[in-house]
Amino acid sequence: MSEQDTPDPSYDVIVIGGGPVGENAAERTASAGLRTVLVEAERYGGECSFWACMPSKALLRPPEAVDAARHVPGGGTAAAGDLDVPAVLRSRDEFTAHWDDAGQVEWAVGVGIEILRGHGRLAGERAVEVTTGDGVRQLTARHAVVVATGSVPAEPPIEGLADTKHWGSREATSAHEVPPSLVVLGGGVVGSEMAQAFTGLGSRVTLVADSGLLGRAEPFAGEMLADSLRAQGVTLHTGARARGVDRDDQGVHLQLDDGSTVSGDELLVATGRRPATSDLGLETVGLEPGQTLTVDDSGVVEGLDGNWLHAVGDVNGRAPLTHQGKHQARIVGSVVVARARGELPDTIAAWTAYSLAADHVAVPQVVFTTPQVASVGRTAAEAGEAGLRTRVVDLDIDVAGAYLHRESYSGKARFVVDEDRRVLVGVTFVGPDVAELLHSATVAVAGEVPLERLWHAVPSYPTISEVWLRFLEEYGL
């Protein structure tokens, strides 16, 4: 149906949150014939489409491509000019459809999803109230309510921050001017990527990260990225914590606990995110507002009876990545459909086809910096903490395909092997364009492919994928 009120408030499935995760859950149930409504307070397509994945990569890719051209024989001359920054920003605007969600709405209606624009909140068991521009609508769900409200920025309690105008990730990815100088607070994925992007677009960037970069990755990944950012002109402060901030006519000033001050025209605070559950009506079903919605491996929220409330994506805290949330949504959609048809029991012990098991063992992630950082599964430290008996194989990415790809190619790889099962449980690549290596690693980890079998997956010559051969040789096969 079109974007309008409907007289019947009873649905089979109500999905709260119209980002890519909610869209996937709603599509799965609607395509199976369940009457499904998708409730969204802002833009259909959500954070990823308008303020995160798509616009950030649109900002990162042009400087990366120019840098790549300058590092192949003959490319330096061709790429000797300056980056056309206005063209980059126009392209970013096109990728976000100029922040117009009409196309997303058309898609949803086209696949049979009913849509309702407004703020959705739980209002008791299987009940949702939606505050729209015309008032409040009361909805009920015969089978399931799926929460896909995502996350919001989590800002630290720094003196003066709340009263000082600054950027969050949304302001950074939607900026229509590149500030002459930018201070980035936070060394995670968002902070690192935006430091990379604005450096490439011509801003003087200072990055403050008290515990270094990419703290959840293998340590060498953060170290290599830090070295690269410094070489590109980023000033890094990695031993001091921010304690105060203020703004005057000269810009914004961040005071650090080592007594120094860093200043810039703009400040980007990228210090993590928290689940968007503060105004979700959780108290009406006996849950605590503002908390992560803990789910079992079928996506059912724990602590409630009836298997009617599900949570997918960032809001459940399991694997806060768009692709992983979409996978959860497809699984949960299938669970809801199967339950509605009476095809599944009330326990999930043997539901291998309906399980969020990938969240535990094989979550892939790419940080789109230069170098890229691509990883899946456990780090060496995490594998040890899990009690696995492991062997770690570290290699330089030193193969013919790498040097054909880029002059003076520099990259590293780490493979974490469970010695008892002789399967990979974690892989990390750091280097130019290693993102495209990651799915092979994800298949190996998720599929628990025995190394003796992996030996027969022969990489093509000359490609960067030959690093797989070097790993297996180093391991002893």
pLDDT digits (tens, 9 = 90+) for 251-294: 999 999 999 999 999 999 999 999 999 999 999 999 999 999 99
What is the spatial distance between Cα 158 and Cα 163, in angstroms, rounded to a whole number?
A: 10
Give the SS3 label for residue 181: strand
Cβ–Cβ under 8 Å, residues 151 and 23: no
What is the spatial distance between Cα 279 and Cα 282, in angstroms, rounded to a whole number?
A: 8
* Token output for 95: 């990728």
- Tell me whether residue 82 is in a domain: no
Whether residue 214 is found in the same domain as residue 336: no
- Tell me whether residue 2 is in a domain: no
CATH of the domain at 401: 3.30.390.30
Whether residue 221 is found in the same domain as residue 354: no
What is the spatial distance between Cα 434 and Cα 417, in angstroms, rounded to a whole number?
A: 20
pLDDT digits (tens, 9 = 90+) for 84-136: 999 999 999 999 999 999 999 999 999 999 999 999 999 999 999 999 999 99
* Token output for 304: 């409630």
pLDDT digits (tens, 9 = 90+) for 143-201: 999 999 999 999 999 999 999 999 999 999 999 999 999 999 999 999 999 999 999 99
pLDDT digits (tens, 9 = 90+) for 259-269: 999 999 999 99
For residue 1, the model assigns a pLDDT of 46
- What DSSP string runs through 89-155? HHHHHHHTGGG--HHHHHHHHHTT-EEEESEEEE-STTEEEEEETTEEEEEEEEEEEEE---EEE--
The percent of residues in the chain predicted with pLDDT above 70, rounded, is 96
Instruction: Give the length of the chain.
Output: 477
- Tell me whether residue 66 is in a domain: no
Domain total of the chain = 3
- Tell me whether residue 328 is in a domain: yes
Cα–Cα distances (Å) from 342 to 168, 338, 420, 473, in that order, read 45, 6, 40, 51
- Tell me whether residue 71 is in a domain: no
Whether residue 256 is found in the same domain as residue 188: yes
Whether residue 178 is found in the same domain as residue 260: yes
Whether residue 264 is found in the same domain as residue 313: no
**Mean pLDDT value of segment 286-315:** 95
First to last CA, the chain: 59
CATH of the domain at 303: 3.50.50.60
CB-based contacts of 65, cutoff 8 Å, min separation 6: none
Q: Which domain holds residue 257?
A: 169-271
The confidence band for 355, taking pLDDT boundaries of 50, 70 and 90, is confident
**Mean pLDDT value of segment 325-332:** 96
Cα–Cα distances (Å) from 194 to 52, 87, 99, in that order, read 11, 18, 20
Whether residue 239 is found in the same domain as residue 279: no
Whether residue 352 is found in the same domain as residue 378: no
The percent of residues in the chain predicted with pLDDT above 90, rounded, is 91
For residue 80, the model assigns a pLDDT of 84
pLDDT digits (tens, 9 = 90+) for 404-435: 999 999 999 999 999 999 999 999 999 999 99
Work out the number of other CB atoms within 10 angstroms of the CB of residue 276: 20
Task: Evaluate the CA torsion angle 126, 129, 132, 136 in order and state its sign.
Answer: positive
